Amino acid sequence: MKAKLSSYFRHSMTILFVALNVIPLLWILRTAFVDKQYTLDLFRLVPPTLANFKNVFASAPFATYFLNTFLIITGIFCVQFVLVTLAAYAFARLDFYGKNILFVLFLMQILITPDVLIIPNYSFLSQLNLVDTRLGIMIPYFASGFGVFLLRQTFKQIPYELEEAARVEGMSTWGIIWRIYVPLSKPSYIAFAIVSISYHWNNFLWPLVVTNSVEHRTLSLGLAIFAQTYETGAQWADVCAATVAVIAPLLILFFIFGRKIMESFTSSGLK
């Protein structure tokens, strides 16, 4: 009897927790697709409309924000892909003096939040005249301690005999990395890509500090400024429509590749 009551309690708490997280999302979705006059009339069934989205894109340059965010996350991940792969291979397979100490120091990047480094990063970019540029937003995130740690653990699980056989066949170190280690570590790369893309898609503080012009704003920053301009008028329909437009790409990717995403995290050992 106690076991059943405990099970019912856990299930009830799970349902309550899900409801508390889903209900606000459902309200945002509904408000984004209804006419402004029915925003607070939650029990009225009204036909959906795209007028709110048209108003949002006409009121703010969200197309520019989307382009900037896409270019930034793509540039960051491409550089991370190369640097993380090479660093992970070096820590996993090469023997050099102080490797373990250097690896520990490198992992300390995970313990340091990016917010702590805002002032030195901004000072460094100012000297390079990269403030208020897309490259200035990207540079501090080119190195990833998390990515190096994740792929190092994956590379160490790949049988070393494969590399020895490849060397016997005359394959170079570059060929071994890109033809053996990278293809066999695909789940880990997918998991890392998900973490990197989702983080930089939602990154707010660093773009706020380093950008001054509309031409270089990202989606998260643009959404915050847009919501603030509508704060006094309580235009919830427009704010919700802008929010849905910002989060829609990540939601669509998750619903389409949800199972693949879960498999990637499972295979890579992330929890």
Upper half-sphere CA count for residue 42 (Cβ side, 13 Å): 6
In a shared domain, residues 124 and 31: no
In a shared domain, residues 38 and 124: no
In a shared domain, residues 142 and 262: yes
Domain membership flag for residue 102: yes
Note whether 106 and 147 are within 8 A (CB). Answer: no
Note whether 93 and 253 are within 8 A (CB). Answer: no
The count of structural domains within the chain is 2
Burial class (CB in 10 A: 0-12, 13-18, 19+), 154: buried
Give residue-wise pLDDT tens across range 71-92: 999 999 999 999 999 999 999 8
**One-letter identity of residue 99:** K
In a shared domain, residues 87 and 181: yes
In a shared domain, residues 31 and 130: no
In this predicted structure, what is the pLDDT of residue 229?
72
Domain membership flag for residue 203: yes
Domain stops at, among 32, 51, 70:
51
In this predicted structure, what is the pLDDT of residue 141?
92
**One-letter identity of residue 177:** I
In a shared domain, residues 208 and 92: yes
In a shared domain, residues 65 and 91: yes
Note whether 213 and 139 are within 8 A (CB). Answer: no
In a shared domain, residues 172 and 254: yes
Note whether 71 and 215 are within 8 A (CB). Answer: no
Statement: residue 271 has pLDDT above 60 = no
Instruction: Specify the pTM.
Output: 0.85
Give residue-wise pLDDT tens across range 165-223: 888 888 888 999 999 999 998 888 988 888 899 899 999 999 999 998 888 999 999 98
In this predicted structure, what is the pLDDT of residue 261?
66
In a shared domain, residues 25 and 65: no
Cα-to-chain-centroid distance, residue 151 = 18
* Two structure tokens written together for 152: 């190092």
In a shared domain, residues 19 and 75: no
Note whether 222 and 245 are within 8 A (CB). Answer: no
In a shared domain, residues 126 and 21: no
Q: Please name the residue that has the structure tokens 């069934």.
A: 45
In this predicted structure, what is the pLDDT of residue 4?
65
Least confident of 2-11, 30-39, 99-108, 144-153: 2-11
CATH number, domain with residue 163 = 1.10.3720.10
Domain membership flag for residue 70: yes
**One-letter identity of residue 103:** F
Q: What is the span of the domain harbouring residue 14? A: 2-51
Domain membership flag for residue 209: yes
- Please, which residues have CB within 8 angstroms of residue 193's CB and are 6 or more apart in sequence? 77
In a shared domain, residues 141 and 245: yes
CA distance 58 to 91: 50
Please state whether 31 falls in left (phi above 0), alpha (psi between -120 and 50) or beta: alpha
Q: Which of 108, 79, 109, 86 is nearest to 200 (CA)?
A: 79
Domain membership flag for residue 56: no
